[in-house]
Structure 1
């Protein structure tokens, strides 16, 4: 299955477009080379005046109907329990040595810079792509090292893969190497769902600077959609 979305960059330029296209590939955590992606994301070179540092998509992604279990072992309905809130959704795993901790650290730092009203309206939701090893206790402790309010979810891996693919994000089966290390190739995009319509109009790639998250969080909390909105 190939997922296609047209992406509008907030900063035009061929170099930026090529970098974006590369970053949309699957990220093999701990690997020096990204795996190939079948997402089919299309980058356009228009000079829109986006409010966002992140990447706007022409057709917004619906929030997935994701019903998993949180780190307390309680059922968690993503649509129901985050309705009307800003949600930044990330798929990854606790043994990831690079992209996952870097992204969560940047999100935690960006949130720390926000006023209380923005923080109170924002959820960072992390869905494990390695639920067999990411036990509730392991996941809770790991997320708390970034921010105790980050939400960790676990579920059947096939359902995780389906939920991710509905957002154009590919997740592959974890591989356990002979040395005991675990590698899980997964898309590193972070879709941001607005509180106004519970859809993702903006996404962030693995090379997004912390300052870009910090810049965009207040806009996301206000539910800004239009590239020309004031």
Structure 2
């Protein structure tokens, strides 16, 4: 029998790797240069930041990131393509992992669009917690929205670089997720839109033990 984690938290703000969100127009070089993920392993996420949860209540990150590892996903809920692919890939991987959201780890998904509402976040939570299908997951998978200052501070702390494209009214970003230690330090980056259960499990185990992983190459999709 495999030992379970004693403490884990998945911080669902999507740390999207190097596949760019599709837009109708080719990207200007200056825009493309500002998109991606700069790995900041062992950096501390600012847990004093406040966001609004899916119920509309204001919460500080230190209320959600404390005694378990975290998978962080930065996304936005009305993304036409890439965010959904990242979240779906994360869901598929987590459904196979033998640790439970809300018990062994937690997930935080954080919108990078300051105009999105708690109602949108609540809809996404129903969709993904329902798809996960395990008791107690609702207490551990949170979908957050926030103001521009809080979003920028969180994105900067984890190296998540994105741009807003006014012409298409979309955010251009990369694809991936990050795993945090219980105290909110960045332990590992996982790139792409599919995450193997083996990689997810190992990342959570190591983060629970406060281990910081090595830099990884970005996977271009």
Structure 1 alignment gaps of length 5 or more: 1-22, 43-56
Aligned residues: 185
CA pair 31-208 structure 1, distance change in 2 beyond 3 A: farther
C-alpha distance after superposition, 1:128-181 (max 9, x if no partner) = 11231x22111211232122532111111232022201111113335363xxxx
Q: TM-score, normalised by structure 1?
A: 0.66
Once residues 26 and 77 of structure 1 are traced to their aligned partners in structure 2, the CA distance between those partners, rounded to angstroms, is: 30
Aligned to 2:43: 61
Aligned to 1:202: 188
Superposed CA RMSD: 3.1
User: 1:216 Cα shift?
Assistant: 2.7
User: 1:26 Cα shift?
Assistant: 7.4
Q: TM-score, normalised by structure 2?
A: 0.68
Aligned to 2:197: 211
Superposed, 1:114-125 pairs within 5 Å as 114-116=97-99, 120-125=103-108
Residue 86 of structure 2, aligned match among 72, 80, 103: 103
CA pair 162-226 structure 1, distance change in 2 beyond 3 A: closer
Aligned to 1:190: 177
Once residues 223 and 119 of structure 1 are traced to their aligned partners in structure 2, the CA distance between those partners, rounded to angstroms, is: 18
Q: Looking at both structures, which has the greater relative contact order when contacts are Cα pairs under 8 Å and sequence separation is at least 6?
A: 2
User: 1:189 Cα shift?
Assistant: 3.5
Cα contact 1:91–1:186 (8 A) shared by 2: no
User: 1:89 Cα shift?
Assistant: 1.1
Once residues 59 and 79 of structure 2 are traced to their aligned partners in structure 1, the CA distance between those partners, rounded to angstroms, is: 24
Once residues 168 and 144 of structure 1 are traced to their aligned partners in structure 2, the CA distance between those partners, rounded to angstroms, is: 29
User: 1:127 Cα shift?
Assistant: 1.1
Structure 2 alignment gaps of length 5 or more: 1-15, 131-137, 215-221
Once residues 221 and 80 of structure 1 are traced to their aligned partners in structure 2, the CA distance between those partners, rounded to angstroms, is: 18
